[in-house]
A and B are shown apart, each in its own frame.
Chain A
Amino acid sequence: AQTVTQSQPEMSVQEAETVTLSCTYDTSESDYYLFWYKQPPSRQMILVIRQEAYKQQNATENRFSVNFQKAAKSFSLKISDSQLGDAAMYFCAYVDSGGYQKVTFGIGTKLQVIP
């Protein structure tokens, strides 16, 4: 079974600074997708960034970028120029490209942005 591990329960960053959230995963598959989701307090989960495992190039979405290390099964999220609105729970998630697409989530990292 696939597992997703987020080892940082909480992180904090100064506004305008850069922070990196860690995620490791375990799978025997070679083709899959990885995601970072953001869940603000009392609001719904939204997709931050997506990475396809067969692509070596790291995904980037504006201030958000990932460091995808397939051999190490590592998938970290870097947030640059942190803003107050970035404060939220961040979940790393995994899904096989085939099968029934059960998405497995990590336990999350709570990000605090300090003004």
Chain B
Amino acid sequence: DTGVSQDPRHKITKRGQNVTFRCDPISEHNRLYWYRQTLGQGPEFLTYFQNEAQLEKSRLLSDRFSAERPKGSFSTLEIQRTEQGDSAMYLCASSLAWGRTEAFFGQGTRLTVV
């Protein structure tokens, strides 16, 4: 296991299209997080899973956004009807218990909506 991996690394899409990103966490990590990072800003929390349960969603996560983590393994983040404001880096992180233990980040998926 080489760490958290995200796919794709880059995605360019036309406004109005749907996109889906994937995150594969470190295998023994039960907690998985999605963050969004725009230029000049720090990562903003989107949502958090403990195993397969989605325990918290940010108000940033409009009804066009949906995230899943079937069977508590990999996670997907889908954005429907993309808008130019969705252009950002989408980061995934996983941990056993962020704080008591370290969390590890993936390299992110950079989304550009044209």
Interface of A with B (CB < 8 Å)?
4, 6, 32-33, 43-47, 50, 52, 91, 93, 95-97, 100-108
- Range of interface residues on chain B? 20 to 34
Q: How far is the CA of A91 from the CA of B103 in the complex (A)?
A: 14
Which 10 pairs between the two chains have the least Cβ-Cβ distance?
Answer: A105-B42, A33-B99, A45-B105, A44-B107, A100-B56, A107-B42, A105-B43, A44-B105, A101-B98, A95-B99
Q: Does B25 contact A (CB under 8 A)?
A: no
* Interface positions of B from 32 to 84, Cβ below 8 Å from A: 33, 35, 40-45, 48, 50, 55-56
**Could you say which of A4, A33, A103 contacts B33, with CB atoms under 8 Å apart?**
A103
Given contacts A44-B105, A105-B44, list 13 more A-B pairs with CB under 8 A.
A44-B106, A44-B107, A45-B105, A47-B102, A50-B99, A95-B99, A101-B99, A103-B98, A104-B45, A105-B43, A107-B40, A108-B40, A108-B42
Contacts of B48 in A (CB 8 A): 100-102
Q: Is the CB of A101 within 8 A of B31?
A: yes
Q: Is the CB of B103 within 8 A of A44?
A: no
Q: How far is the CA of A102 from the CA of B43 in the complex (A)?
A: 12
Chain B residue with the shortest CB-CB distance to A99 = B56
Contacts of A50 in B (CB 8 A): 99, 102
Q: How far is the CA of A4 from the CA of B4 in the complex (A)?
A: 25
Q: Is the CB of B105 within 8 A of A97?
A: no
Q: If A45-B105, A91-B42 touch, does A102 touch B56 (CB 8 Å cutoff)?
A: yes
Chain A residue with the shortest CB-CB distance to B58 = A102
Q: Is the CB of A101 within 8 A of B97?
A: yes
Q: How far is the CA of A32 from the CA of B99 in the complex (A)?
A: 8
Q: How far is the CA of A91 from the CA of B4 in the complex (A)?
A: 19
Chain B residue with the shortest CB-CB distance to A107 = B42
Shortest C-beta distance, A35 to chain B (Å), equals 8
Contacts of B105 in A (CB 8 A): 44-46
